Amino acid sequence: MAMTLRLPEADDRMLTERAAKEKRSKQEIAVEAIHRYLVARDELLDSSVDEVISQDAELLRRLAQ
């Protein structure tokens, strides 16, 4: 799916420099960064839910009655 990404000038410059250092495209780096962000957010959410369930198990049990 096509998407246009407008970056602040400073971020675009840093991305351009990083892409040149790694001999990769800016798009490849951006796609990887977005993927890592989404995976990390899912893991954080899952971890947070698990923590609430374990810490508040008794309260949740009573609320379910």
Q: Check residue 30 and give its pLDDT.
A: 96
Q: Check residue 43 and give its pLDDT.
A: 85
Q: Check residue 53 and give its pLDDT.
A: 81
In tens, the pLDDT along 13-31 reads 999 999 999 999 999 999 9
Q: Is the pTM of this model over 0.95?
A: no
Greatest CA separation found in the chain? 60
pLDDT band at 61 (very low <50, low <70, confident <90, very high): confident
Domain range list for the chain: 23-64
Which residues contact residue 26 at a Cβ distance below 8 angstroms, ignoring those fewer than 6 apart? 15, 16, 19
